[in-house]
Amino acid sequence: MNSKHLGRTSGMSAILRVSPMKVSLNAKQVQDSLLFREIWLPSDDDESDSVTPPPQPEQPEAQTYIVQRYQQVASTSAFPWNTTIAVEKLEITLDLGSTLGKAQFAIDNAWVSSNKTSDREQSMCINFDSVGIECKGRMAGIVELRSFKVHTSIKWPEETAGNTPLIQASIAFHHLQAKVSFDYQPFLVAHVTKFDFLMYNVREAPGKGGERLFSVLEGDEVQVFCTSLTASQTLALFQAWQRLVQDKQSAYEASLREVERYLRRKSSAVPGRIEARSKELAQKDEEVERAPGSLHTGVVVNIRHVDLGAFPSSFFDNQIFKVEAHDAQARFTVSLESNKIHSALGLTLGQLRVALSGINRPASANLDELSVDAIAQRAAGSRGGTILKVPRLVAGMETWQVPGTRQIDYIFHSTFEGKVDVGWNYSRISFIRDMWESHSRALASRLGKPLPPSAVRITGGTGNGGGQGEGGGAGAEQQDKITAVVNVPQSKYTYTALEPPVIETPQLRDMGEATPPLEWIGLQRDKLPNVTHQIIIVTLLEIAKEVEDAYGTILGT
């Protein structure tokens, strides 16, 4: 219809509404679909597959970027249009066989709307009232997502067609909860509320710097709970999926060999040599190190409450190892300044608490009745067993690096605001160490090989040290003190401090100025900037490289 019936501007509006639908799929018959495609939809290059030359990598200047190709179509002179597709309800049932079980995917009140108001601007909105996945069988669990919204917009500049467009994308949801089980044993629970993500770019004027890409993530509450067997159970689930795919592929290849006798051509399936050559080219491309910096990237994360917990063996246990953080803020930026890669990392934790707390057992012992809300409420209600409590922690690090070199110039600071509570005694540390050993044994058994030594090792303490109470590990008169041994890998970087690092020693509430230094328990403060750079900043720089590559591939730079 004409848009004048819906608004004041002329144009075209199209609306499609789909009634409730149900779809049933059987993974056992995947090979039948592949055989149908092989017989009735052969590829066009069957005759030349034996002499196909290796694919040549595209030259950067010859590439046509995705958005630029899209602009050639979308920017043509045309009247405005608005398209909306709505699906009232969609249910998809997937039978994965006895190996994994059955899965049901459901969507309620989903709609997609795209509109174009001018030759150079377009936007799209996506909304789901609820999205749910429920699995039953050997692989069981639920995933529920409510009030999921996506909004994207793009605007091309008016000067020339080759400039980078302005983009904006936002993703938000009100509620997300998940529970995953394998072999009828729940091993992971997550509960997230009110998350908003915003990403946008800024195009600077010519001669005033490069382009900028910023993203902001804000969340209300994040709760994630696992067990000491979560890693091994996750690996077992992944291996089960691998076996399912391999079985279907083997069945397809066996059926293909049977029907090849009746085909007067070679099969077009699995061009092994071409795939191998493509992988070699991809590996060569990955080996070329490309330093970030031409794109100024900034990330800000604000989360009101983070609650992470680990149970010794199952969610029915009466103890939990918890890490809680309130008003967590993280900031990271990377840019190219004076031919140097400048990165800045900032971290603020309003209140950090580490504890081994007691927890009430659930009223029901039935696995099916163990809901996500029940586990989250039990964990939130746990009290006592404080190992470390920090009122406020503020840390930051800035680095400067010339691309292609290993020399790092840095500024580092870490401060504690308020007194620190410590309940560092052997009984709690021993319990946590037993949980880690259970995790290591289960994972090593699943992998079929021993795990490498842990980077952090707790030493010292005897069985007699378990009755010293909340401050048992803080007193200088303890006969066998507990120390933390941190094995830092040999660094390939050389560090130079532009200013003396500010690394405050936390003061215990009971000891004040008499608090012993961190070196007393085995932690070396002078290595903290090096570890922060190697573990956190280097990882974030690698992610920044991938983001910059994707940004250039999609939008062009």
Please tell me the predicted confidence (pLDDT) of residue 507. 66
Q: Which of 27-36, 254-263, 287-296, 329-338 has the highest mean pLDDT?
A: 329-338
Please tell me the predicted confidence (pLDDT) of residue 520. 44
Placement of tokens 């639920």 in the chain: 142
The pLDDT-based confidence of 271 (bands split at 50, 70, 90) is: very low
The pLDDT-based confidence of 289 (bands split at 50, 70, 90) is: very low
Please tell me the predicted confidence (pLDDT) of residue 194. 92
Q: Is the pLDDT of residue 285 over 70?
A: no
Tokens of 245: 């795919």
The pLDDT-based confidence of 152 (bands split at 50, 70, 90) is: very high
Please tell me the predicted confidence (pLDDT) of residue 51. 47
In this prediction, residues 329-356 reach a mean pLDDT of 90
Q: Is the pLDDT of residue 319 over 80?
A: yes
The percentage of the chain sitting over the pLDDT mark of 70, rounded to a whole number, equals 72
Please tell me the predicted confidence (pLDDT) of residue 7. 60
Q: What is the pTM of this model?
A: 0.78
In this prediction, residues 421-438 reach a mean pLDDT of 84
Cα-flanking dihedrals φ and ψ of residue 463, to 5°? Answer: -60, -25
**Cα(480)–Cα(483) distance, integer angstroms:** 9
Q: Report the amino acid identity of residue 505.
A: T
For the ranges 85-89, 280-284, 379-383, 525-529, which has the lowest average pLDDT?
280-284
In this prediction, residues 270-279 reach a mean pLDDT of 45
Please tell me the predicted confidence (pLDDT) of residue 468. 39
Please tell me the predicted confidence (pLDDT) of residue 476. 40
Please tell me the predicted confidence (pLDDT) of residue 255. 79
Q: Are 389 and 419 within 8 A, CB to CB? A: no
Placement of tokens 């922060």 in the chain: 532
Q: Is the pLDDT of residue 124 over 50?
A: yes
List the one residue out of 183, 184, 189 whose CA is nearest residue 226: 189
Q: Is the pLDDT of residue 267 over 70?
A: no
> When comparing pLDDT for 51 and 371, which is higher?
371
Please tell me the predicted confidence (pLDDT) of residue 477. 42
The percentage of the chain sitting over the pLDDT mark of 90, rounded to a whole number, equals 32
Q: Are 231 and 444 within 8 A, CB to CB? A: no
**Cα(74)–Cα(62) distance, integer angstroms:** 21
> When comparing pLDDT for 407 and 290, which is higher?
407
The pLDDT-based confidence of 347 (bands split at 50, 70, 90) is: very high
Please tell me the predicted confidence (pLDDT) of residue 172. 96
Q: Give the count of beta carbons closer than 10 Å to the beta carbon of residue 458.
A: 19
Q: Are 233 and 187 within 8 A, CB to CB? A: yes
Q: Are 67 and 555 within 8 A, CB to CB? A: yes
pLDDT, tens digit, 9 for 90 and up, residues 161-174? 557 788 899 999 99
> When comparing pLDDT for 465 and 329, which is higher?
329
For the ranges 272-281, 376-385, 405-414, 466-475, which has the lowest average pLDDT?
466-475
Map 401-438 to HEC letters.
ECCCCCEEEEEEEEEECCCEEECCCHHHHHHHHHHHHH
Placement of tokens 């590559």 in the chain: 549
Q: Is the pLDDT of residue 471 over 50?
A: no
Please tell me the number of Cα atoms within 13 Å of 407 on its side-chain side: 5
394 contacts: CB under 8 Å, gap ≥ 6? 347, 348, 413, 414, 415, 417
pLDDT, tens digit, 9 for 90 and up, residues 211-252? 888 999 999 999 999 999 999 999 999 999 999 888 888 888
In this prediction, residues 182-190 reach a mean pLDDT of 91
Beta bridge partners of 131: 107, 145
Cα-flanking dihedrals φ and ψ of residue 497, to 5°? Answer: -85, 120
List the one residue out of 192, 178, 183 whose CA is nearest residue 234: 183
Q: Which of 64-68, 293-297, 433-437 has the highest mean pLDDT?
A: 433-437
Q: Are 116 and 151 within 8 A, CB to CB? A: no
Please tell me the predicted confidence (pLDDT) of residue 180. 93
- Dihedral sign for Cα atoms in the order 504, 509, 510, 513: positive
> When comparing pLDDT for 166 and 474, which is higher?
166
In this prediction, residues 258-269 reach a mean pLDDT of 62
The pLDDT-based confidence of 264 (bands split at 50, 70, 90) is: low
Q: Which of 28-32, 306-310, 314-318, 356-360 has the highest mean pLDDT?
A: 306-310
Tokens of 93: 């049932």
Please tell me the predicted confidence (pLDDT) of residue 475. 42
What H or E segment, with its residue span, contains residue 484? Answer: strand 483-486
Please tell me the predicted confidence (pLDDT) of residue 286. 44
Counted residue by residue, the chain has a size of: 557
In this prediction, residues 271-298 reach a mean pLDDT of 54
- DSSP letter for 515, please: P
Tokens of 135: 């699995």
What H or E segment, with its residue span, contains residue 233? Answer: helix 230-259
In this prediction, residues 14-28 reach a mean pLDDT of 88
Q: Are 158 and 121 within 8 A, CB to CB? A: no
List the one residue out of 77, 533, 97 whose CA is nearest residue 332: 533
In this prediction, residues 39-61 reach a mean pLDDT of 54
Q: Report the amino acid identity of residue 21.
A: M
Q: Report the amino acid identity of residue 122.
A: Q
What H or E segment, with its residue span, contains residue 40? Answer: helix 30-40
